[in-house]
Chains A and B, each alone.
Chain A
């Protein structure tokens, strides 16, 4: 008994003081206004929120955050799953590739972002040199400077860095799929596609649900890649909650507004997760049928 609580206590105190308290304090903080010129907090109630809701930039941040999260999560897990299927085929060279595939995931986020900033460089970048060589455009495309494609460009980088994680988890799940069931389906005359949808996918759905949930939360909160690639620009076209909170809080020292954005980011994240859970339920129950 003493051991149970004694062992738990140091970690519990740290988590409470360093995480739960700040989380609650954020809400309190958001009811005050501070600025660089007037750093003394003044209570203003919900005024900060009223101002935020009437600011079109906020709604753009909401939209960007949803596009960014959905885009990265879907690419990362769907393609990550197909790559796992591919790496589960016993082709030559697979051993090496399997051990190298986690490299992008291990690479520090800032380094990955700097590397891709360079890959995307309109003059010197590797991507544009392919584009030019194959005549896809007559001059280099400004991937990160064009508001209409910048979001797609940053999503691709996050996909590149994140998919190996999904692939490795899916690979482990695939190796746990009951081989006898696959053989039985083969004997019954099911082709590879039937086997994929009727045997393999139902067997790995629990893992897929965990993967989707984890990557959704992590992507929504991911700061490094967008900050280094575009700082949320051009024209706020890649501004998501974490970059916007940093910009308002530490770029402009408007702590109250940054805290309100923080609070709202939790609300939106909870809403995304709730929608996800609603979609998940029929998927999981389908499995029992």
Chain B
């Protein structure tokens, strides 16, 4: 194909891709600004005549604030438990080669792919018999099953790239293995820890199945479950629904853009070389 045809064709395809990715977002935003009094034009109108923030004010009702708080607490606690435990395990799996450890490694890799649906009934019974249904701790326990194996796997990938020689040098200088771990390995693994943390946050912020099954009281709902309830309650009030959607998505999107470079580097390093 000559360059003259090929170039515009590629530009067109790129425009189609950009539209596919961005149009739904644009529409979500546009509808969130539409006044409740402005009727939906048929066929749909791409931008409201009188954009307003009233949907956001309506959507910020007390229950939404409660869901938001619940999500922050559960996701934050899951992150704070997952990362240290995963870092320790990943260090062990990246530095030592005992038979039992390779069994652990295999078990962790396999566990990443356990269907939540296949574990959920016994897990529900455990949580119920510990009286932890409708509690933060009950949700955190369930979330750890989602985050821990994948965090170990990601962090191990990063730690394999931290050269051993630095720890050996520290050992020669008389530093204990523990000191070498905290003073040398952890700081060097920082980009990996950040990338893994972003991944864990993205996954837990949207977790739905466990949150839906392990909470029945409204006070304990997380954002995704609360949003799902909204469909029944405010089904036709799309403006409010879209305003809530924007507000739920903003925190993860912000964190993601803020740390994007490190995150994508981490994601692709693991997958390409893994």
- Which residues of A line the B interface, CB within 8 A? 1, 3-5, 7-8, 10-12, 14-16, 18-23, 25-26, 29, 83, 86-87, 89, 91-94, 97, 99-104, 106-111, 114-119, 123-126, 128-130, 132-133, 160, 164, 168-169, 171-173, 176, 192, 207, 210-211, 214, 217, 220-221, 223-224, 227-228, 241-242, 245-246, 249-250, 255, 258-259, 261-263, 265-266, 269
Number of A-B contacts (CB under 8 A): 264
Residue B120, interface by CB 8 Å: yes
Interface status of B274 (Cβ within 8 A of chain A):
yes
Cross-chain contact of B22 among A19, A22, A100, A117 (Cβ < 8 A): A100
A15 touches B148 (CB 8 A): yes
CB contacts (< 8 Å) of B124 on chain A: these are 249
Tell me the dominant secondary structure on chain A's binding face: helix
Closest A residue by C-beta to B96: A4
- Given the known interface contacts A114-B241, A207-B271, the answer about A23 and B114 at a Cβ–Cβ threshold of 8 Å is yes
- The interface residues of chain A lying within 8 Å CB-to-CB of B107 are 12, 15-16, 20
Minimum C-beta distance from B253 to chain A (A): 6
Q: Indicate if the CB atoms of A118 and B31 lie closer than 8 Å.
A: yes
Residues in A whose Cβ lies below 8 Å from that of B44:
124-126, 129
Within 8 A of A (CB), among B128-176: 141, 144-145, 148-149, 152
B239 CB to nearest chain A CB (Å) = 11
The answer to whether B245 touches A160, judged by C-beta atoms less than 8 angstroms apart, is no
The reply to whether A164 and B118 form a contact with Cβ atoms under 8 Å apart is no
Partner of B224, one of A25, A89, A224, A263: A224
A169 and B213 contacting across the interface, CB-CB below 8 Å: no
Known contacts being A108-B206, A223-B209, is A93 close to B14, with CB within 8 Å?
A: yes
* Smallest CB gap from B263: residue in A: A102
| A29-B122 in contact given A14-B85, A19-B114 (Cβ < 8 Å) | yes
How many interface residues does chain B have, given as a range?
35 or more
What are 25 A-B pairs at a CB distance below 8 A? A3-B92, A3-B178, A4-B98, A10-B85, A11-B86, A19-B114, A22-B123, A29-B122, A87-B14, A94-B14, A102-B264, A107-B253, A110-B224, A110-B227, A117-B231, A124-B238, A129-B43, A172-B272, A224-B206, A245-B120, A249-B121, A249-B213, A259-B122, A261-B117, A265-B115
B89-109 near A? 1/0 per residue, CB < 8 Å? 101110110101100100110
Q: Which among A12, A101, A210 has the greatest number of chain B C-beta atoms within 10 A?
A: A12
Q: Which of A15, A109, A116 has the most CB of B within 10 A?
A: A15
Top 5 A-B pairs, shortest CB-CB distance:
A129-B43, A108-B206, A172-B268, A25-B122, A11-B89
B40 / chain A contacts, CB cutoff of 8 Å: 123-124
Apart from the given pairs A10-B89, A258-B121, 13 other A-B contacts in the complex at a CB distance below 8 Å: A3-B96, A10-B85, A14-B85, A15-B149, A22-B121, A107-B252, A107-B253, A114-B230, A115-B245, A221-B117, A227-B228, A246-B213, A261-B117
Residue B18 CB within 8 A of the other chain:
yes
Smallest Cβ-Cβ distance to B89: which chain A residue? A11
Instruction: Say yes or no for B27: interface residue by CB 8 A criterion.
Output: yes
Q: How far is the CA of A94 from the CA of B13 in the complex (A)?
A: 12
